[in-house]
């Protein structure tokens, strides 16, 4: 659905969405621009960021990723070639009205993002998290006004559970507001049930585009984390150890590496290929901190897995109802 919607603007969504979460954090401006250049040269055009990126890094205030992307687009004069997806709702300060989806904050947040991105419109504006303190009608009316004003083309939801997404779709239909056309869930070979249990059938039935994040399980599915091995010296290593370095996680990784060896591909490419060709997936999100890494992940979405390979991955990563 997202591909068809954005196609009305004359643009087709690339099979891989480049994650901008590393811009202003683990990649400086020069490196970020090199990665972005390589992505466009490879045929990519869909870039995901958020106002909160990379507020968690020491010395950052938030907005660094959007600023990096905006600086690159202004220098290359290529805004018309790029589909920009960004998000609001995360805390951008400690005071009141600096987070969430209230109308007051939304109107402030969109102007701040537009300034940082150095553009006058956002292709896909997403609610980063569900805000249960703000009435859905208020949030959706705010989004509707932004679309009517031409500042936003389409809206999406991230980190929403199925019943809340269903409720939001109903509210949009009831009031005639724009609706969430896209979902950004956490979804990968290790964590399947959170999306597949209820969100997948909902998105397929409602024609909602899906751009999953954590496609490589924060790098775990690239194979750089080994059982009993020394952890990489990265900011996310501790989180990966807790979330993915389990018996189940390593069993899935073993299946990924087995398929990769047979396909003459890398583990990361296999994990992305499996995800990119799942039903209803518009484009998996993956980040790159170097041009070499970018070329690797781009190769993943073009990789076609045979039936035996898919069965191996499906069986190793299958979840059970409890």
Beta strands in 131-273, from DSSP E residues, in sequence order: 152-158, 180-184, 209-210
159: region left, alpha or beta (phi > 0 left; psi from -120 to 50 alpha): left
Instruction: Identify whether 53 is a catalytic site residue.
Output: yes
Contact 276, 16 (CB under 8 A): yes
**Sheet of 152-158, strands arranged across:** 209-210, 180-184, 152-158, 122-127, 83-88, 46-48, 17-19, 285-286
Beta strands 46-48 and 122-127 are unpaired
Catalytic residue among 53, 125, 213, 225: 53
- Calculate the CA dihedral of residues 184, 189, 193, 198 and round it to 10 degrees: 40
Q: Known catalytic residues? A: 53
């Amino acid at each position: 659905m997202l591909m068809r919607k954005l196609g009305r603007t004359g643009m087709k969504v690339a099979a891989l969405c480049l994650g901008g979460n590393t811009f202003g954090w683990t990649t400086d401006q020069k490196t970020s621009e090199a990665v972005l250049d390589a992505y466009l040269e490879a045929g990519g055009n869909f870039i995901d960021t958020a106002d909160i990126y990379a507020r968690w890094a020491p010395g950052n205030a938030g907005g660094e990723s959007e600023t990096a992307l905006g600086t690159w687009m202004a220098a290359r004069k290529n805004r018309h070639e790029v589909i920009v997806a960004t998000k609001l709702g995360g805390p951008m300060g400690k005071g009141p009205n600096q987070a969430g989806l209230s109308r007051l904050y939304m109107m402030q947040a969109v102007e701040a993002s537009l300034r940082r991105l150095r553009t006058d419109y956002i292709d896909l504006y997403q609610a980063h998290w569900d805000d249960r303190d703000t009435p859905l009608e208020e949030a959706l009316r705010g989004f509707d006004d932004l679309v009517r004003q031409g500042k936003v083309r389409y809206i999406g939801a991230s980190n929403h559970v199925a019943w809340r997404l269903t409720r939001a779709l109903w509210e949009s239909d009831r009031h005639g507001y724009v609706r969430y056309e896209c979902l950004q869930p956490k979804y990968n070979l290790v964590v399947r049930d959170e999306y597949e249990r209820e969100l997948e059938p909902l998105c397929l039935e409602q024609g909602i585009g899906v751009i999953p994040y954590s496609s490589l399980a924060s790098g775990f599915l690239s194979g750089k984390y080994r059982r009993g091995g020394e952890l990489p010296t990265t900011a996310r290593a501790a989180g990966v150890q807790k979330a993915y370095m389990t018996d189940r996680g390593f069993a899935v990784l073993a299946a990924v590496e087995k398929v990769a060896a047979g396909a003459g591909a890398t583990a990361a490419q296999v994990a992305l290929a499996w995800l990119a060709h799942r039903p209803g997936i518009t484009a998996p999100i993956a980040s790159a901190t170097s041009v070499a890494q970018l070329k690797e992940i781009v190769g993943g979405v073009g990789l076609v897995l045979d039936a035996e390979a898919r069965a191996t991955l499906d069986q190793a990563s299958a979840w059970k109802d409890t």
